[in-house]
Amino acid sequence: MSSVNIKNVQKKFDEQVVLTRINLEVRDHEFLVLLGPSGCGKSTLLRMIAGLDNPSSGQIYIGGTDATRLPPKDRNIAMVFQNYALYPHLSVFENIAFPLRVRGEERAAIEKKVRWAAQIVEIERHLSRKPRQMSGGERQRTALARSLVREPAVFLLDEPLSNLDAKLRHTAREELRLFQERVGLTSVYVTHDQVEAMGLGQRIVVMDRGEIRQIGTPRDIYESPADTFVATFIGSPP
Ligand code: ADP
Ligand code: MG
């Protein structure tokens, strides 16, 4: 079954078309990467999956139901942003627990879920720290744990590594890959970085100016780019 099914989605801002007839299926447990240059519509597409914005036309199905009119809180989807703001005055534990407290969950259940999420991202030893006592990578993982704890059906990540320096980005990418292998979440990951896409994606969706140019495994795309745009963008051999 597909977790997310995007059917003929078009998006306009005023009269400007920023996405044209997007058709895309996100399969259960896959790590799908949306790759394309800045301004091609990646974030807009992700925001519509999350319900933060609506298509101008077309449908988005989540777990088989038409989600076009479902508010974000009813979509069972977590979004990790570029600026994963943690609450500086709260401990790591409380940062992760926050979405569950908002939901009004029981103390014991919160404790259990926070420990589970912290263990997955390997920060269980730091739960009593404040964010400022953590490294950039650990703060990143705290933000991931805060999304994980809600047990979302789909995990959306919008260039989550772009604020890290090159060295940390490499480590974080590797961690994310291992994490994905271990947990097998259904994820849609946005990046404009082809190296990141090739390293992380099980399938890659190459976008340009509001259109999908190709969908395939990293190998498909590298070895058989659909057109010269894809070839140039990926850096495939001629
Ligand atoms: P990407 O994430 O691939 O860099 P975006 O989805 O952010 O691209 O933007 C796609 C296009 O839509 C850009 O031309 C951008 O300027 C435009 N855009 C995005 N959000 C809005 C908005 N709220 N109002 C008007 N135009 C927007
Ligand atoms: Mg963007």
* Complex prediction ipTM: 0.98
Please tell me the least confidently modeled range out of 89-98, 102-111, 125-134, 138-147. Answer: 138-147
> Which of 18, 42, 79, 205 most suits a substitution to test ligand 1, by most atoms within 8 Å of the C-beta?
18
Global pTM? 0.88
Cβ atoms of 205 and 233 within 8 Å: the answer is: no
Highest mean pLDDT among 13-27, 149-163, 173-187: 13-27
Q: Is the pLDDT of residue 172 over 80?
A: no
| Residues flanking ligand 1, CB < 6 Å | 13, 18, 36, 38-44
Residues 211 and 217: their CA atoms lie apart, in Å, by 18
Residues 6+ apart with CB under 8 A from 52: 72, 79
Q: Residue range 212-230: average pLDDT?
A: 97
Q: Is the pLDDT of residue 214 over 90?
A: yes
Report long-range pairs for 124-132 (Cβ below 8 Å, ≥24 apart).
126/92, 127/91, 127/92, 127/93, 127/96, 128/91, 128/92, 128/93, 129/91, 129/92, 130/88, 130/89, 130/90, 130/91, 130/92, 131/86, 131/87, 131/88, 131/90, 131/92, 131/95, 132/88
Please tell me the least confidently modeled range out of 4-18, 47-61, 71-85. Answer: 71-85
Angle at 175 between CA 162 and CA 128, to 5 degrees: 90
Amino acid at 216: G
The residue nearest atom 15 of ligand 1, judged by CA position, is 39
Q: Residue range 21-41: average pLDDT?
A: 96
Q: Is the pLDDT of residue 180 over 90?
A: no
Determine the pLDDT at residue 82: 61
Q: Is the pLDDT of residue 2 over 80?
A: no
Q: Residue range 197-204: average pLDDT?
A: 94
Determine the pLDDT at residue 83: 62
Amino acid at 154: V
Q: Is the pLDDT of residue 64 over 80?
A: yes
Q: Is the pLDDT of residue 192 over 90?
A: yes
The residue nearest atom 5 of ligand 1, judged by CA position, is 41
> Bridge-partner residues for 154, per DSSP?
77
Determine the pLDDT at residue 136: 81
The residue nearest atom 6 of ligand 1, judged by CA position, is 41
Check residues 20 and 176 and name the one with the higher pLDDT: 20
pLDDT bucket at 1, cuts 50 / 70 / 90 = low
Nearest-atom index, ligand 1, CA of 190:
2
Instruction: Map 62-118 to HEC letters.
Output: ECCEECCCCCHHHCCEEEECCCCCCCCCCCHHHHHHHHHHHHCCCHHHHHHHHHHHH
Q: 22 CA to middle of ligand 1, Å?
A: 15
- Mean model confidence pLDDT for the chain: 91
> Which of 10, 44, 158 most suits a substitution to test ligand 1, by most atoms within 8 Å of the C-beta?
44
Q: 93 CA to middle of ligand 1, Å?
A: 35
Q: 83 CA to middle of ligand 1, Å?
A: 17
The residue nearest atom 1 of ligand 1, judged by CA position, is 39
